[in-house]
């Protein structure tokens, strides 16, 4: 009986070479864009103390309540596969005393993250994020700069037709006060609300803004808005962020109902949405905001911060770009009169000269090798027999060459 086949766990996937090449290319472009903005690379462990996310992301969020991969290590410590990158960056900032460095400290990261979500198109249990964080300044230009960098990255990745949603949440206190006011308002109009919204008044009153139900919509048209309740200072900060974005020619929609699924946000929040059908129900490609209380929450000095993260898989799904594949190789074929040793010598010499090249390694006939060379889109085939023949696969020209040196010279010449 054949052994049962194994599969990658639900919500995970293999990155096959074709896709891996696209990721490398996106990584290269990301490095260029974020490096220009003054952000430096950073990495944190794939798992952390569970406490970090409970405190950082917030006990009441879906992420902490339902989506964490938490386990005990052999010493009985509770660890969690990181569901996001902001809390780890802030933990590292405190742990390494980075407040002593010139501020703001700007870093970017790229790597795997884990959330136990219902898997579907664009939503996975292991996914990759690219993100940036700037710590140590509450200057509105950092908010604007980070938004511009995400816009530039999406552009460089070929993600077109995005909508930027923008809002300000104010401080935690003003947000709490607003939510209490909104709940009161919803209860006063309970009779006109859909059942669904009514059931969520306590838990998530902001949901009411998204309702399709006619009665609810009429009620919401007159509902109090979070943006109207900002303190003068927070309103001024938001106005400055908007002014800088306007100057930079970035278009955005102010969406007072934009809330993000993490508790640490204060002041600016934003999200880029894409209409791409390939994303299914997941329209958010990247988002972030300011988190001025988080470092302190994690035991550090009061330190403002702002940043974002974007999903690599979602970027690639939404991208309209055909990322360039690998360069076309030279194929070294062996005919009946040739030896494996001579062919191997030639492929080694080609590689030393910087030429991407492959050699016959599957015992095919010469005819089979030529077919194989076409399949791998070789630009030329060097046929090793008694001598060496060079065949240009685009023109079909074939001629003998004097030896390894001339073959290498031709291959290098083709590069130029
Ligand atoms: P987030 O909105 O939870 O923010 O995630 C950012 C991005 O990660 C999303 O826009 C999405 O593209 C991608 N993403 C999230 N969950 C999944 C999933 N299950 N499958 C595929 N992609 C996913 C944060 O994580 C914050 N740390 C962002 C931030 C940085 N805020 C301030 N600094």
Q: Is the pLDDT of residue 259 over 80?
A: no
Q: State the Cα–Cα distance between residues 112 and 66, nearest whole angstrom.
A: 19
Count CB-CB contacts under 10 A for residue 267: 24
Tens digits of per-residue pLDDT, 99-148?
A: 999 999 999 999 999 999 999 999 999 999 999 999 999 999 999 999 99
Q: What are 294-318's pLDDT values in tens digits? A: 999 999 999 999 999 999 999 999 9
Residue 97: pLDDT above 90? yes
Token look-up 């005990």 returns 72
Tens digit of each residue's pLDDT (9 = 90 or more) over 213-248: 999 999 999 999 989 889 899 999 999 999 999 999
> What pLDDT does residue 174 have?
84
CB-based contact 185:273 (threshold 8 Å): no
pLDDT at 402: 97
- Ligand 1: which residue has its CA nearest to atom 18? 123
- 99 Cα–ligand 1 center, Å: 26
Return the H-helix or E-strand segment holding 32: helix 17-36
Per-residue pLDDT of 31-86, as tens digits, reads 999 999 999 999 999 999 999 999 999 988 889 999 999 999 999 999 999 999 99
pLDDT at 207: 78
pTM of the model: 0.91
- How much is the pLDDT for 400? 98
Sheet of 284-290: strand order equals: 40-41, 105-114, 126-135, 305-311, 284-290, 266-274, 162-168, 253-254
Q: Which residue of 288, 292, 295 sits with most ligand 1 atoms within 8 Å of its CB, as the best mutation to test the pocket? A: 288
At 95, list the tokens: 């742990």
Q: Whose CA is nearest to atom 16 of ligand 1?
A: 123
Q: Which of 142, 269, 309, 317 to mutate to test the pocket of ligand 1 (most atoms within 8 A of CB)?
A: 309
Q: How far apart (Å, rounded) are the C-alpha atoms in residues 148 and 153?
A: 9
**407: three-class secondary structure by DSSP:** helix
Q: What residues contact 321, with CB distance under 8 A and at least 6 apart?
A: 157, 158
- For position 416, what pLDDT does the model report? 62
Q: Is 38 helix (H, G, I), strand (E, B) or coil?
A: coil
The three-state secondary structure class of 146 is helix
Closest CA to 264 of 282, 240, 288: 288
**256 vs 41, more confident:** 41
Q: Could you tell me the distance, in angstroms and rounded to a whole number, from the CA of residue 102 to the centre of ligand 1? A: 28
Q: Whose CA is nearest to atom 13 of ligand 1?
A: 311
Quick one: which atom of ligand 1 is closest to the CA of 85?
A: 27
- The tokens for 400 are 């003998």
Contacts of 408 (CB under 8 A, 6+ apart): 349, 350, 353, 355
pLDDT tens per residue, range 400-414: 999 999 999 999 998
Whether pLDDT at 257 is above 90: no
CA distances from 36 to 125, 152, 317 (A): 32, 11, 25
122: left (phi over 0), alpha (psi -120 to 50) or beta: left
CB 314 near ligand 1, within 6 Å? yes
Which of 268, 264, 295 shows the shortest CA–CA distance to 99?
295
Q: Residue 267 above 80 pLDDT?
A: yes
Pocket test for ligand 1, best of 311, 315, 318 (most atoms within 8 A of CB): 311
- For the chain, what is the mean pLDDT? 94
């Amino acid at each position: 009986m054949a052994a049962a086949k194994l599969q990658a766990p639900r919500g995970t996937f293999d990155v096959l070479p074709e896709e891996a090449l696209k990721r490398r290319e996106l990584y290269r472009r990301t490095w260029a864009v974020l490096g220009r903005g003054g952000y430096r690379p950073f990495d944190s462990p794939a798992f952390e103390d569970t406490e970090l996310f409970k405190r950082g992301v917030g006990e009441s969020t879906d992420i902490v309540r339902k989506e964490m991969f938490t386990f005990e290590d052999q010493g009985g410590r509770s660890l969690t596969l990181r569901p996001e990158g902001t809390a780890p960056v802030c933990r590292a900032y405190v742990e390494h005393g980075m407040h002593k460095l010139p501020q703001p400290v700007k870093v970017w990261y790229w790597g795997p993250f884990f959330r136990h979500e219902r898997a579907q198109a664009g939503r996975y249990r292991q996914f990759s994020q690219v993100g940036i964080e700037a710590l140590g300044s509450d200057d509105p230009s950092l908010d604007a700069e980070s938004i511009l960098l995400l816009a530039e990255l999406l552009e460089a990745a070929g993600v077109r037709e995005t909508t930027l949603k923008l809002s300000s949440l104010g401080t935690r206190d003003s947000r709490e006060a607003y939510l209490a006011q909104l709940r009161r308002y919803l209860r006063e109009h309970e009779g006109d609300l859909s059942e669904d919204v009514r059931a969520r008044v306590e838990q998530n009153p902001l949901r009411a803004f998204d309702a399709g139900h006619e009665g609810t919509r009429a009620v919401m048209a007159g509902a109090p808005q979070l943006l109207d309740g900002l303190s003068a200072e927070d309103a001024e900060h938001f106005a400055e962020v908007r002014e800088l974005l306007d100057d930079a020619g970035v278009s955005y929609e102010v969406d007072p109902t934009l809330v993000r699924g993490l508790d640490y946000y204060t002041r600016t929040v934003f999200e880029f949405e894409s209409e791409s059908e390939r994303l299914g129900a997941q329209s958010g490609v990247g988002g972030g905001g300011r988190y001025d209380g988080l470092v302190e929450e994690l035991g550090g000095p009061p330190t403002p911060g702002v940043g974002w993260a974007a999903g690599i898989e979602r970027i690639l799904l939404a991208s309209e770009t055909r990322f360039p594949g690998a360069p076309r190789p030279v194929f070294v074929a062996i005919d009946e009169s040739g030896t494996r040793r001579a062919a191997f010598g030639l492929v080694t010499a080609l590689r030393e000269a910087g030429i991407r090249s492959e050699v016959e390694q599957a015992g095919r006939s010469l005819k089979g090798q030529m077919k194989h060379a076409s399949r791998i889109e070789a630009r030329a085939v060097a046929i090793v027999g008694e001598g060496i023949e060079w065949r240009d696969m685009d023109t079909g020209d074939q001629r003998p060459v004097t030896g390894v040196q001339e073959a290498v010279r031709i291959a290098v010449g083709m590069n130029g």
